[in-house]
A and B are shown apart, each in its own frame.
Chain A
Amino acid sequence: EAAVTQSPRNKVTVTGGNVTLSCRQTNSHNYMYWYRQDTGHGLRLIHYSYGAGNLQIGDVPDGYKATRTTQEDFFLLLELASPSQTSLYFCASSDGQRANTEVFFGKGTRLTVV
C-alpha cells in the first residue's frame, strides 16, 4: 500500500509568518504534488515535481514556494503567510510513468493563518 506522510497535521501561524509543510512518500514514486482544498473549489494544484531538484508550477502557485530535496521528500514553503492561505493542504505522489496512473494522497495539513 502506498504511503504519503504529512507533517505537521495542524499548524497555526500569524500573518507574515514563515511556514514549512513537509511531505514524505515511501512508494518510490517519481511525481509528487501539493494541493490545497477549499470549500467550493475541490482541490487545486499548487506545485509539483517529477524528481529531486525539479519543480513545476501548478494552477495556484502565488505565495508558495516548494522544494524537492530527495525522491522521498517534498516541502511547501509559505514565506509571508496571509489569511487567504488558510486551507487544508494535501501532498500526493504518483508513478507518473503509466497512463491512468493513480495518485496517492496524504491525510492533509490544516493551516490557519490568523
Chain B
Amino acid sequence: QQQVKQSPQSLIVQKGGISIINCAYENTAFDYFPWYQQFPGKGPALLIAIRPDVSEKKEGRFTISFNKSAKQFSLHIMDSQPGDSATYFCAASKGNAGNMLTFGGGTRLMVKP
C-alpha cells in the first residue's frame, strides 16, 4: 500500500526552466510534508518542508505548493541548474511520529546545460 504517490518517475528539464514534481497522499492525518534531495551515491538530505496550515513555502529557488483539499503537494524548482540534477523524494508523516515518515517513490531529475 503506497500512501504517498509521486510523479513523474523521471524528468528532464533545460537549464533555466522550471522543474515540477507532484505528490499525492491518502492519509488525512498527515501533517508534515518534507522533500529530500539525493545525489548519486549519497544519502538524502532535507531540502524543504511544509505543514498544512500554509499553502506555499519558498526557500530560494525551491517552492512547495500544498493543496489540502486535493491531498496533493508539489515541488517547484525555478531557474533549474545542472547542479540540481538529483533524485527527489517527497514524504509525509503525522503528529510527532517522525519515525513514521512515508516516502514517495522518487523522481530522478536531469537538468540539461
Partners in one complex: no
Residues of B within 8 A of A (CB): none
Give A contacts to B, CB under 8 Å: none
